Structure 1
Amino acid sequence: MAGFQTQATYNPAPAVEGDFASTNPRATVLAGPGGLVAGSSFIVGRAIWLSSTYVDDDGAPAVANAFGSGAIAGIAHREQQGLIQQYLQEFTMQVPAGFPVTVFASGDFWVKNNGSTQALPGMKAYANFADGKFTAAATGSASTASGSASSVAASTFSVTGSIADNVLTVTAVGSGTVVAGGTISGTGIATGTKIVSQLSGTTGGIGTYAVSIPEQTVASTTVSGTYGTLTVGGTVAGVFGVGQSISGSGVVAGTTITALGTGTGGAGSYIVDNNTVVASTAITAATNVETKFVVRSSALPGELMKISSWLQG
């Protein structure tokens, strides 16, 4: 048993990841009937994003995960809700998929400093898009990955399908592969609708997919999709991944990596949600996002730190 206790300390730890750091006011993410529920990776003490893989009865995103893109929804507070599911597993901070959960948008919390440098009071808390882990740095100091000779090519797909609420059912594939982040169009489809994730079926083909705009009723029709294929090349630094926003000469602001292609963090291809063509250039991806939470205690790498959403002064 690798995690069996081998030492004891005079004083108890100040907290556990995800604990409240005070009795100050706190606020939860507003959810409708049926939300929120844990997704495939809801981990206590981590930053949380919401997904439209499933929507609540109000048509709002209802799936919560410790990965995502853009601004975080909040933090997973520790409520003794983790559940051991693996044989001989000694502990876990993960909540099983489908369990009801609460996400806190504001308040004071204890989280782990997962960075390589000391966290100091006044720094901002940053959340990693891949796993929701927190680090601390000065305002405007997001971590990045880069490829010195990278490009974006326009890509498309065409399928036959229908939409009920936020679920696209694909019954035939005309060309290409359906991918997360692809913007779809067709008779009756709401403008700006995107593929969120695949729910069932053959990968990228016949099956069901969650889409970003709910409450749609679309009869069977030709569904056209557009997206971009980012090819990372040249000198590669850092790790590219899903959820990261990219920037560079000719890159449309807000373009986000939505799926892996042949790349798994380094050189290779990645799916992005914009099909604007970008010739070979240096492209940078933000690997984490600055949150509204401010560090309120000193913490060496691996130690717990207090973070707060409340302004001082």
Structure 2
Amino acid sequence: MPFQTQVLTQPAPAVAGDFATHNPVATFPVAEGALVAASGGCTVGAFGWVQPDGTTVANMPPTSTATAPDGFVHRNLTGQISSFGTEGSLVIPQGFPVTLFSAGDFWATTSTAATPGQAVFASLTTGAISTAAAGASVAGAVQTRFVVASSAAPGDLVKLSTWNSAQ
């Protein structure tokens, strides 16, 4: 995240990875503290896959196969700024705890225009969000169980939900 360069008259609705509603949520079933960020860290507000060791989470599947992600990486405020004067980021450092949510409503940044009811796709290289019609083929991405719950332009925050159905 860069340093602040502007002041808006209204606060931002959220930060990528935040809860979007108070609807019920469900986490990926593992023991408490069992999942940690893989080598290179794990980006918040993107999708994650549990790696073959069963404990590390990366923003890409463990193999080249297009498998659906295990969950969405929620913003638990686990980042750290390790040296004074450096900027914060939405990357959970390697070895830090990660919570994967398999159900719920979240905010994320979309790389495509989003319309309520569209399916949410996860990039197979970064876990980043894109949207399209359910069942569509999106190059380099796989469809998730989440759907779009709000309108958004590319690069903006969008609500994702497992409690709505794709249209």
Tell whether the structures are fold-level matches, with TM greater than 0.5.
Answer: yes
In the TM superposition, residue 96 of structure 1 has moved relative to its aligned partner by 1.2
Structure number with greater CO (CA < 8 Å, separation at least 6) is 2
Matches within 5 A, 1:70-81: 70-81=67-78
Measured on the aligned residues, the alpha-carbon RMSD in Å equals 1.8
Q: Given the alignment, which residue of 133, 147, 151 partners 1:298?
A: 151
Work out the percentage of aligned pairs sharing the same amino acid: 41
Q: Distance in 2 between matches of 1:295 and 1:10?
A: 27
The structure 1 segments of at least 4 consecutive aligned residues displaced by more than 4 Å after TM superposition are none
1:62 equivalent in alignment to 2:55: yes
1:131 equivalent in alignment to 2:157: no
Q: Given the alignment, which residue of 77, 81, 86 partners 1:84?
A: 81
In the TM superposition, residue 87 of structure 1 has moved relative to its aligned partner by 6.5
Q: Distance in 1 between matches of 2:151 and 2:51?
A: 33
Q: Tell me if the contact between 1:29 and 1:74 (Cα under 8 Å) persists in the aligned partners.
A: yes
Q: Between Structure 1 and Structure 2, which shows a larger proportion of strand residues?
A: 1
Question: What SS class does the counterpart of residue 48 from structure 1 fall into?
Answer: strand
In the TM superposition, residue 86 of structure 1 has moved relative to its aligned partner by 6.0
Matches within 5 A, 1:74-223: 74-85=71-82, 88-115=85-112, 118-144=113-139
**Structure 2 vs 1, CA of residues 6 and 106 (structure 1 numbering), >3 Å: closer, same or farther?**
same
TM score, norm. by length of structure 1: 0.49
Equivalent position of 1:256 in the other structure? none
Q: Tell me if the contact between 2:44 and 2:74 (Cα under 8 Å) persists in the aligned partners.
A: yes
Q: Tell me if the contact between 1:83 and 1:93 (Cα under 8 Å) persists in the aligned partners.
A: no
In the TM superposition, residue 34 of structure 1 has moved relative to its aligned partner by 5.8
Q: Distance in 1 between matches of 2:17 and 2:2?
A: 20
Question: What SS class does the counterpart of residue 307 from structure 1 fall into?
Answer: strand
TM score, norm. by length of structure 2: 0.88
Equivalent position of 1:245 in the other structure? none
Q: Distance in 1 between matches of 2:119 and 2:162?
A: 10
Q: Tell me if the contact between 1:126 and 1:142 (Cα under 8 Å) persists in the aligned partners.
A: no
Task: Structure 1: state its 5+ residue gaps.
Answer: 55-60, 145-286
Task: Structure 2: state its 5+ residue gaps.
Answer: none
In the TM superposition, residue 85 of structure 1 has moved relative to its aligned partner by 3.7
Q: Distance in 2 between matches of 1:109 and 1:15?
A: 10
1:311 equivalent in alignment to 2:164: yes
Question: What SS class does the counterpart of residue 57 from structure 2 fall into?
Answer: strand
